[in-house]
Structure 1
Amino acid sequence: MTTKIIHFMVNGTLEKAEFEADCSAADVKDVFRAAAEAGPHHILKLYSVDGGVLNISPLLEANGEDSYYRLEVVASDLKSVGMPNELDTMEHRLHHLESRVMEDVGQTPEVVCDLKSQVESFKRKLESVKHLSWMELFKEDGDHQSSPKPRSSLLSVQEEHQQVRRKFLNMSSLQVTEEVREHLKTPTFDNWQWEEAEMLVLLQVMFTDLDFLTAFHIQLDVLQNFLFQVFCHYNNIPFHNFRHCFCVTQMMYGLIWLTDLKSKVSRIDLLVMLTSALCHDLDHPGYNNVFQINAQTDLALRYNDISPLENHHCAVAFGIMSEPECNILKNLSSDQYKHIRGGMIRCILATDMARHNEILHKFKSIQPVFNFTNKEHKEVLMKIMVKVSDISNEARPMAVAEPWLDCLLQEFFNQSDTEKLKGLPVAPFMDRDKVSKPSSQTGFIRFVLLPLFTEITKLFPCLEEHILEPVRRALDFYSDLERAGKQQQEEEKQGEQEEQGRSSAGGAVL
């Protein structure tokens, strides 16, 4: 049996891991977890010599001492800084009890809910002590799987969601390192390296690091319930799923920091933009507005063919917040609530691409005289920021962006196949028989992304380096691919014609 040797640095010490090529991924992770002295709920990250994140699995490439990997623990739990073991044990037993009851009767009894509430209340009191507050701590960062796990057909959706919830709650008190927190503020962040529960932890970090919990009196458990319900209300479809939601929110978070919006707009408007990004595609069915209208679906009928999906996303968002345990806005004044609700509705409705030119032209008209104290100017900017975040994949590194294009085309092809079966009109850019990856991007980048990103860069010149230049490079890349593809088609066509000519000439001689 082939043995693989992996050299890696952890806690300042060069270590060596040795395992068989056919061992399980769990066994490999256990080896690295033991070397890092990490617990079962810690997040580990393994980095290559050039800083890329590696998947901890039996497929890891063997290396030498001079090309060692770097292993880090991304987060540590509160026990390591003084959280009582008894409280941690009680929480674990409650989660276990809740899961067992859920399996038996399908719902959590009131007595368990009360116990959970008491434990979480006591934990919040402990966390309010400065030296125990998890918001004051910065732990080491670690590794995780580089690609999302496919959902098991053996588990129901509800069971899968509960697994994510348990893992999220176990991880929610872990401390994300300063290095990861800083990387989270950049467009180069790689979403593919994080699992669903880990992304929920990072979303929690975004809300806490922007000081939303303190400013708007949001209880930590309410935020966690809200984030989990947002996760539950994204469907398992190729593109418009929870990972897309995370990417859009993370880009919005990055733009807030890159443009120093914290010093330019109020914190309540930052909350509007980040929460709008989080909720902008809730319960997306994988079929766009054109399909909804042409197929006369319930959504199209309900919203009179006016942005049916975006109206639905808004309704689902506020439906989640209508539940007290998920209502992150419940401690706000009536005026504050109206401000946030109105802002979220405007921002989410702005993501309807049918309104793209209208909103862009409005922004272009005010951009030369833009004034952050002008209410109308600010509202248009907020729409633009959500729109930029929504369609920002090509501003990311190619290794992050290209898999998203595959996901989008899969969703497009699913829709066009259904439209053909139903006898509905099919958009050429969604037709698997008429579109290629390069052709799908060149027009979109040239006529949608570049005009939009160019305008936002005029207001925030710092974004040219971070989002405009990467999009220009993406256009060059796909344009080259498109030209090469056309040239190959022409050569193949010419070869066929020459072959037909030779066959005809041979026939004439005979």
Structure 2
Amino acid sequence: MATSGKRGTAVRIHRIADITQEPREIHTPIVAYKDMPIVSLEAAAEPLVPLLPAIQSYVAAAKSLCKNPPADGLTLDESASIMLYSMGWTPEDQCLYIALNATLRSEDREKLMPWLSYLKLLLTALQQLPSERGTVFRGIKSDLRNEYRKDSTIVWWAFSSSTTSIGVLNEELFLGKEGKRTMFAIKCSSGKDIQKHSYFPSENEILLHAATQFKVVDSLDQGDGLYIIQLQEIESIHPLLQPLLESNSDNGSKDQPVHTVTSPISELGVDTPHLEELRCLLNCINDWDLDIFRIEDLSCQQPLTIIAYRIFQERSLVRTYAIEPHTLISYLVALEHRYQPVPYHNRTHAADVCQSMHVLLNAPALDGVFTDLEIMSAIFASAIHDVDHPGVTNPFLINTKNDLALTYNDDSVLENHHLAVAFKLLQADERNIFSHLTTKQMKTLRKIVIDMVLATDMSKHMQLLADLKTMIETKKDTGNDIIMLESYDDRVQVLQSMIHCADLSNPTKPLKICMKWTDRSMEEFWRQGDKERDFELEISPMCDRRLASVEKHQIAFIEFIVHPLWETWADLLYPDVNNILETLEQNRDWYQARLSAPASVSAGTNITNSSSPSSSPTPMTKTVSSSNEEDSLMK
């Protein structure tokens, strides 16, 4: 069973000294656990059995060892989740806290999937414990000064055990008094005292949350091989581990609402050390060829927040609709954190579509066509249009009887879910960016946004295209190329087509940008194919990584879907988007030439390093189910 005695001491030493495994890279935030239901500890542990075969035995032990009723108003399952974390067993790689922390440190967020239920239960329990505000200590028998430079910012991605007693670290079993050793003096504000729920109740263990950010305040040489690194916990407005909105207990304990921004707003809406370079890039926000991947990097993985914030400012929507900057940032941060770390349908795709929508709205032919409210609705719709996308298609959700498919009756499953998530985020006062709209304005905005996001369902592509062609024939004054859009319905129809174009804009972008989208979209396809193989389902077209041809898929997608759409859009706005159409056609020709070349790239080959005058990828479509490739692109 769980370790005690010398082995138990080793467990405590390991947790307090478990520092060198922390990666230096910034990973994507940890958010997927948040919408998991709270279940029993046994149910939360069930997905972990393949990883930790003995876990259910330790679950039973943890529940039997907990005080009943537990301290701090926790439920038995909540208290036992902490007890289970504090236990150690062999083999070490199958011990819960070691395996969990290794997974939290990994950049592959998909590895967290089996852990989500347990993580939700553990974080729910920890949230209800009193926070430790003071100095705590960790340490290791090594010199880590080079990795913790003064004034730098670091992240400890794993849960970090610490102690309030500096004397504990001086004991021979921990740091001792000889050799090179580093002691961390950490001024924390959110540490949790788990002593009343720990397997080691005599130890004053303070648990620091996973994905906590720190500033290195100082690095001191105390002599005799002892170095002290002083850290200060950073209470970021962009937390890397999204906190729960509120306590799930009945004891009335409430934490600070998630993403309430009270600190001064940065000029660009996000905290980043790359302010100057970002400022220069954002001067090109009206350009079609803006490098969204550079924005992704320089914004510390917050591209949607920085793009949407800039557009709201650029279009004076903040002033027109009395939107408080803190409220706007709070909403955008919460929204961005709800985008899952999937290869394609992620926050960067949302930022790209939002910026593309902004550029399309600037077309001279559309000058004066839309009201300010319609423009704000369009920008908002583009920002939210894929929020919480799981990286699989509607047919996959339907065929696997996923809860989302059952909730939305198999009808535009993902699109309805995106809308529900986005509007629910507005329910918190601190995130309600539309609080100053009249009831009529809010009703209008909501209808426009719903109509636009539902139009991103690829199964509606053919009807949308046919309606757009009809509009061109009936609404455009061919004598002076003016679009006659007197009615609200006409304007919304154009906005639906516009977001569809923005969503399918990857093949119209420059090579450097497009090829990255190709890699991401195809990887998401292939991951779905892997899942379909696991479910023993028929693998959807282009989702089998062993058989897929990147070139054939790109050519088919451009010829049958993207080019007809953009050709029609170009007719509507002639000559405003002719250059976009030309790039699309060049990209199609490049793929055709590549397919005809003797050494054509085969399935599974990364093609982003290929040289060419111009090329493009396609976005991952939401609904691929037909055995016919052309049909599959439209379903």
Q: Identify if the C-alpha distance between structure 1 residues 107 and 278 changes in structure 2 by more than 3 Å, giving closer, same or farther.
A: closer
1:144: which partner in 2? none
Per-residue CA deviation, residues 349-384 of structure 1 (Å, 9 max, x unaligned), is 100000100111111111122222122211110001
SS at match of 2:370: coil
Does the CA-based 8 Å contact 1:395-1:466 persist in structure 2?
Answer: no
Per-residue CA deviation, residues 310-358 of structure 1 (Å, 9 max, x unaligned), is 0000000101111111111111000110111111111001000001001
How many angstroms does 1:112 deviate by? Answer: 7.6
Does the CA-based 8 Å contact 1:237-1:411 persist in structure 2?
Answer: yes
The alignment status of 1:247 with 2:352, answered yes or no, reads yes
For structure 1, the residue ranges without an aligned partner over 5 or more in a row are 1-23, 27-38, 42-92, 128-133, 136-167, 490-510
Structure 2 counterpart of 1:265, one-letter code: F
Distance in 1 separating the partners of 2:236 and 2:505 = 40
1:455: which partner in 2? 568
2:423: which partner in 1? 318
Structure 2 counterpart of 1:193, one-letter code: R
Alignment of 1:20-419 (within 5 A): 96=234, 169-171=270-272, 180-194=281-295, 195=297, 196-197=301-302, 200-259=305-364, 261=366, 263-370=368-475, 371-419=484-532
How many angstroms does 1:205 deviate by? Answer: 0.9
Structure 2 counterpart of 1:170, one-letter code: D
Per-residue CA deviation, residues 171-217 of structure 1 (Å, 9 max, x unaligned), is 59968888534411111111111232355223211111011101111
SS at match of 2:538: coil
Per-residue CA deviation, residues 482-502 of structure 1 (Å, 9 max, x unaligned), is 12259899xxxxxxxxxxxxx
Structure 1 counterpart of 2:331, one-letter code: F
Q: Identify if the C-alpha distance between structure 1 residues 173 and 288 changes in structure 2 by more than 3 Å, giving closer, same or farther.
A: same
Structure 2 counterpart of 1:207, one-letter code: F
Q: Identify if the C-alpha distance between structure 1 residues 485 and 421 changes in structure 2 by more than 3 Å, giving closer, same or farther.
A: farther
The range that moved more, 376-385 or 260-269, is: 260-269
The range that moved more, 462-471 or 288-297, is: 462-471
Does the CA-based 8 Å contact 2:304-2:350 persist in structure 1?
Answer: no
How many angstroms does 1:460 deviate by? Answer: 1.1
Q: Identify if the C-alpha distance between structure 1 residues 198 and 420 changes in structure 2 by more than 3 Å, giving closer, same or farther.
A: closer
Question: For the aligned residues, what is the CA RMSD?
Answer: 3.5
Distance in 1 separating the partners of 2:519 and 2:234 = 39
SS at match of 1:310: helix
Does the CA-based 8 Å contact 1:229-1:320 persist in structure 2?
Answer: yes
The total of aligned residue pairs comes to 357
SS at match of 2:486: coil
Does the CA-based 8 Å contact 1:187-1:466 persist in structure 2?
Answer: no
SS at match of 1:170: coil
Q: Identify if the C-alpha distance between structure 1 residues 172 and 269 changes in structure 2 by more than 3 Å, giving closer, same or farther.
A: farther
Does the CA-based 8 Å contact 1:213-1:220 persist in structure 2?
Answer: yes
The alignment status of 1:434 with 2:551, answered yes or no, reads no
How many angstroms does 1:479 deviate by? Answer: 0.8
2:175: which partner in 1? none
Distance in 1 separating the partners of 2:600 and 2:408 = 46
How many angstroms does 1:219 deviate by? Answer: 0.5
Distance in 2 separating the partners of 1:297 and 1:174 = 43
Does the CA-based 8 Å contact 1:245-1:281 persist in structure 2?
Answer: yes
The alignment's TM-score, normalised by the length of structure 1, stands at: 0.63
SS at match of 1:304: coil
Pick the structure with more helix per residue.
1
Per-residue CA deviation, residues 83-114 of structure 1 (Å, 9 max, x unaligned), is xxxxxxxxxx9983579x999x988998988x
SS at match of 2:302: helix
Q: Identify if the C-alpha distance between structure 1 residues 472 and 299 changes in structure 2 by more than 3 Å, giving closer, same or farther.
A: same
Structure 2 counterpart of 1:188, one-letter code: D
Does the CA-based 8 Å contact 2:350-2:384 persist in structure 1?
Answer: yes
For structure 2, the residue ranges without an aligned partner over 5 or more in a row are 1-23, 27-150, 154-230, 247-252, 476-483, 603-635
Does the CA-based 8 Å contact 2:307-2:354 persist in structure 1?
Answer: no
Higher gyration radius (CA) = 2
Q: Identify if the C-alpha distance between structure 1 residues 232 and 446 changes in structure 2 by more than 3 Å, giving closer, same or farther.
A: same
Distance in 2 separating the partners of 1:94 and 1:488 = 50
The alignment's TM-score, normalised by the length of structure 2, stands at: 0.51
Distance in 2 separating the partners of 1:179 and 1:173 = 10
Distance in 1 separating the partners of 2:601 and 2:568 = 36
Does the CA-based 8 Å contact 1:259-1:462 persist in structure 2?
Answer: no
Distance in 1 separating the partners of 2:570 and 2:348 = 26
Q: Identify if the C-alpha distance between structure 1 residues 376 and 112 changes in structure 2 by more than 3 Å, giving closer, same or farther.
A: closer
Per-residue CA deviation, residues 59-82 of structure 1 (Å, 9 max, x unaligned), is xxxxxxxxxxxxxxxxxxxxxxxx
Does the CA-based 8 Å contact 2:363-2:573 persist in structure 1?
Answer: no
